[in-house]
Amino acid sequence: MRKQIAAANWKMNLSISEASILLDQLAATSPNLSEHQEAVFAVPAIYIPLATQKLDGLNHFYVAAQNCHPKANGAYTGEISAPMLASIGVKHIVLGHSERREYFNESDSFLAEKTNAVLSEGSTPIFCCGEPLTIREAGTQNSFVETQLINSLFHLSEEQITKVVIAYEPIWAIGTGKTASSEQAQEIHAYIRSVFATKYSQAIADQISILYGGSVKASNAKQIFSQPDVDGGLVGGASLIATEFVAIINALK
């Protein structure tokens, strides 16, 4: 069975005391995850050591980074490399979030370099893709997302691609309160899987976890995650509330 993943993206939020309290609350609930389930916490880089300490000993709980630089080292002031993250035990890195694409002009080719860097460390890229509202309204979301995947991931081998987690995020639903219906989520997740099946094989495509990201909350997670091609979620605002995110973890199938 494919990995079912509840991934928290804290973005640029919380003070150190707030982060500590939230992590304590999450650790206290200790959701009982099955072998095929994971809870991943993409916290601000400055809080990675704290999160690692607080979540230590919880089965199938992982601390992730929200970004990395494609180079292993060098004169890139303010950046953090995949080897650095691996050296402190981080094995999941979010790449290509729509906010990074929009605010920091990250291109598909740049994200291909980042993906290579993460995989070279034996770490797991959580690769984000998704369309803005104008593309959705034009009905061209499938080709838009397919182009993102082709440009950034199709150079990978079969072995490499199975190590990548995809996070589909309808940009028009991020932080807006709007959510794609479970049917809409299933439709494009199935299409994304078909893109990988065409490039690689159906067997390879069936191994790739595809997460939904876009105003996931406790009240809608179970319905969204119940869809056959939805393997969990990349969660923003709701991941900052312990009871909400625990409910989302418990909604994994």
User: Whole-number mean pLDDT of the chain?
Assistant: 96
Q: For the chain, what is the radius of gyration of the CA atoms?
A: 17
What confidence score (pLDDT) does residue 181 get? 86
How many CA atoms, within 13 angstroms, populate the side-chain half-sphere of residue 164? 32
CATH assignment, 4-250? 3.20.20.70
Q: Record the pTM.
A: 0.96
Mean pLDDT for 147-175 is 94
Q: List the single range of 8-22, 23-37, 89-103, 192-206 with lowest mean pLDDT.
A: 23-37
Nearest alpha-carbon partner for 38 in 189, 224, 249, 241: 249
Which residues are marked as active site?
97, 169
Distance between CA atoms of 13 and 1, rounded to whole angstroms?
34
Supply the pLDDT for residue 168.
97
pLDDT value of position 72: 98
Domain boundaries, the chain: 4-250
Quick: pLDDT tens for 126-156: 999 999 989 998 999 999 999 999 999 999 9
pLDDT per position as a tens digit, 75-120: 999 999 999 999 999 999 999 999 999 999 999 999 999 999 999 9
List the one residue out of 63, 106, 99, 65 whose CA is nearest residue 82: 65
- For residues 173 and 12, the model is more confident at 12
